Amino acid sequence: MTATAPGATRPGRGPGTPPGPAAPPVTASSRAHPLWLLAGVAAVLVAALAGVALGPVDLPIGGVTMSALDRLPFIDAPSGLSARDTAIVWELRVPRVVLGGLVGAMLATAGAGYQGVFRNPLADPYLLGVAAGAGVGATLVFAYGAGGGWIIDPLPLAAFTGALAGVAATYLLSRSVGGQRDTVSLILAGVAVTAFFTAVQTFVQQREADSLRRVYAWLLGRLATTGWSEVRLILPYVAVAVAVLLVHRRLLDVLSVGDREAVALGVSASRVRLVVVIAASLGTAAAVAVSGLIGFVGIIVPHTVRLLTGGGYRAILPLSLLFGAAFLILADLLSRTVLSPAEVPIGVVTAFLGAPFFAWILRHRRLQ
């Protein structure tokens, strides 16, 4: 990607035409190749079908497929499933698979957005205090509010509020120290806020030792659902956040050449960075509110996509969305089948799967 030198005439502009925003050069690798998009869609469909059909009670894949087709308008496709199996499919497994897909897609897309604005392939969605804030909120509920007779479940609300509080504290601290444009100050502020929130969480855990087991179970991540309530809870936030990130994927490519070059191309680097960080943080906060702290997805998926496709963010973001959804659905499938009927925390599964695969990719593909 190259920037046009100041004063040079761009194609389609006359010598007297005032300068304006210019698109970065479009290369073969800057857009998501149709084959990769098809592979991502296929991965999501295969993972979803496996996630619905397999489990402590295995169901016939053909019957599950016909049951899904039967739900479509104008299609009559008897599945042959019993009433019990149909209830398992549509009241337990499909909501869990959809929730896993939403959380995985959100974490992977948010990770790609963070990596774009900070120009660091190791940035993840928890960089600016989301995880620490959500952990404090969840810990307070487990310690003091678990038996309060709430009308609604306080855990997702507390985790969501804590996550947003962590990001807001990071942003305000960064603005007071280094200004809006200083990414180094933003990252360091995130480190400081994370340390403070972690200290608060540890203090509460020591004071309320009976809550330790439930807190650690939440911190390791889980996708246990009670129907479609969790899906309905996070769907609006995830949809808005993902839409904003995808709209800004071209501007992230511009930002990757550097702030000065981006300004020369007519792009406000500080505005793009702020919008992307807000969208990614909002979506991540919604995801962790219902899933706990599932690590590794926001790093491994976008970075693996980058290594495999060599594309810019116009390719990385949509592919991260698809492969992130497929990755977490399969990870959740393993978490509930490896030690069935017990469940392995999904955060443990993502680490076991992600670390060796990431090491294999680094060994066999050179960094683009």
Site of tokens 């959100």: 106
Tens digit of pLDDT at every position of the chain (368 positions): 444 444 444 444 443 444 444 444 444 455 667 899 999 999 999 999 999 999 888 889 888 888 888 888 878 778 788 888 888 899 999 999 999 999 999 999 999 999 999 888 878 899 899 999 999 999 999 888 766 566 777 889 999 999 999 999 999 998 887 655 568 888 889 999 999 999 999 999 888 888 788 888 888 888 877 679 899 999 999 999 999 999 999 999 888 877 777 777 778 888 888 899 999 999 999 999 999 999 889 988 998 898 888 778 999 999 999 999 999 999 999 998 888 888 889 999 998 887 787 777 667 655 44
* DSSP-derived secondary structure letter, 89: I
Dig out the tokens for 196 from the structure. 């403070």
Closest C-alpha among 322, 317, 327 to residue 350: 327
Structural domain boundaries in the chain = 29-63+78-96+296-368, 125-294
162 and 136 Cβ atoms separated by less than 8 Å: yes
CATH code matching the domain that covers 125-294, chosen among 1.10.3470.10, 1.20.120.520, 1.20.1250.20, 3.30.365.10: 1.10.3470.10
